[in-house]
């Protein structure tokens, strides 16, 4: 399944606030859909599907990528749901977004794809790169790169900076000091329902 490129507000009306997808707010108060409201109580499957879709749309990952991340999380000792969130949060595109170098994850992905981002002094153009403790992320020493980032910094995204990241605004240097803790994840969701959704796959 290809990456979603349709109307973003329609998704946020259906799933709630997704800070990584868009910063726009819909003026419509009713949920998306023909009638704008649910006439019956959602099934357990529908609730699990909704939580899974929040992850997919917020972090901009394909179904295949999410399933792969779930399998990786199951191999690690600990809560599968929390480890899955840590894998998604430690992606390079999400890290760029969380410090405010990009207003959304798609914008951060564009910065990475256009080779504006360096990790440990090497250009990294892979958005799913897993940031590790002691990694140092910088901006390419080029006017166009600096101008683009400075423009984004005028409109910061999420207010709280995760505890595992150190960001020097003057030099635009990001230092990864550890792995993100659950309380700093910027998305409101029940990760256990996502694990249950994939339990039989």
CATH number of the domain residue 67 falls in: 1.10.1050.10
Could you tell me if residue 22 is inside a domain? yes
**Domain around 134:** 91-178
One domain for residues 81 and 95 = no
Chain centre to alpha carbon of residue 68: 16
Angle, helices 80-89 vs 63-75, to 10°: value is 120
Summarised one tens digit per residue, pLDDT across range 87-144 is 999 999 999 988 888 888 888 899 999 999 999 999 999 999 999 999 999 998 888 8
CA–CA gap between residue 131 and residue 133 (Å, rounded): 7
* Structure tokens that stand for 94 in this block: 């999400």
In this prediction, residue 1 carries a pLDDT of 41
Q: Does the residue 19 lie in any domain? A: yes
Whole-model pTM? 0.84
Q: Are residues 64 and 111 in the same domain?
A: no
Instruction: Please report, for the domain that includes residue 134, its CATH number.
Output: 3.10.290.10
Q: Does one domain contain both 21 and 78?
A: yes
**Domain assignment present for 47:** yes
Residues 80 and 147 in one domain: no
Segment (H or E) for 97: helix 92-98
């Amino acid at each position: 399944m290809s990456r979603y490129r349709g109307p973003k507000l329609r998704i946020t009306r259906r799933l709630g606030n997704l800070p990584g997808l868009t910063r726009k707010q819909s003026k419509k108060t009713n949920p998306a859909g023909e009638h704008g409201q649910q006439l019956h109580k959602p099934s357990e499957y529908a609730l699990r599907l909704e939580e899974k879709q929040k992850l997919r749309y917020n972090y901009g990952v394909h179904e295949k990528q999410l399933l792969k991340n779930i399998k990786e999380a199951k191999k690690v000792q600990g809560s599968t749901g929390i480890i899955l969130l840590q894998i998604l949060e430690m992606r390079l595109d999400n890290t760029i977004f969380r410090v405010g170098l990009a207003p959304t994850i798609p914008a951060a992905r564009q910065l990475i794809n256009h080779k504006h981002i360096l990790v440990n002094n090497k250009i990294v153009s892979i958005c799913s790169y897993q940031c590790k403790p002691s990694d140092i992320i910088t901006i390419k020493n080029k006017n166009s790169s600096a101008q683009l980032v400075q423009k984004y910094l005028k409109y910061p995204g999420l207010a709280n900076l995760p505890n595992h990241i150190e960001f020097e605004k003057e030099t635009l240097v990001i230092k990864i000091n550890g792995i993100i803790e659950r309380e700093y994840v910027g998305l409101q969701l029940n990760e256990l329902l996502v694990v249950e959704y994939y339990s039989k796959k």
